[in-house]
Amino acid sequence: MILLQQAASGSWAQAIFGNQWFFLIAMILIFYFLMIRPQQKRQKEINNFRKGLQPGQEVVTSGGIYGKIKEINDNIVVLEIAHNVCIKVDKSTIFANPTAAQQ
């Protein structure tokens, strides 16, 4: 009997669906501020670092190769990894060298 009265007024349906929308929107906002936004900030910092690369700068690649930049041509960077040993790597694989920043 109580269910029929609530069904007639529509309050139970409104309460269920209203709360679901609230929680769905809250979860999306939490996901955005805890996951997506920080990742976008990190990616922007990495892109700015890569735009500012200069010869002589010590860097590390995503594969873990440490070296010093010898020259930069568009998207290719020539790294000197030992005396007179140079390799070419894609610019997108280069990250900051944390040990060089500490010195």
Apex 59 CA angle, 55 and 35, nearest 5 = 125
Q: Mean pLDDT across the stretch 87-94?
A: 94
Q: How far apart are CA 97 and CA 74, in angstroms?
A: 21
Q: Do 80 and 90 meet the contact criterion of CB atoms below 8 Å apart? A: no
Q: Is the pLDDT of residue 25 over 80?
A: yes
pTM over 0.75: no
Pick the CATH number of 55-103 from 2.60.40, 3.55.50, 2.30.30, 3.30.1070: 2.30.30
- Enumerate residues 6+ apart whose C-beta is below 8 A from 39: none
Q: Is the pLDDT of residue 93 over 90?
A: yes
Q: Give the pLDDT score at 22.
A: 82
Rounded to the nearest 10 degrees, how much is the dihedral formed by the CA atoms of 75, 76, 80, 86?
A: 170
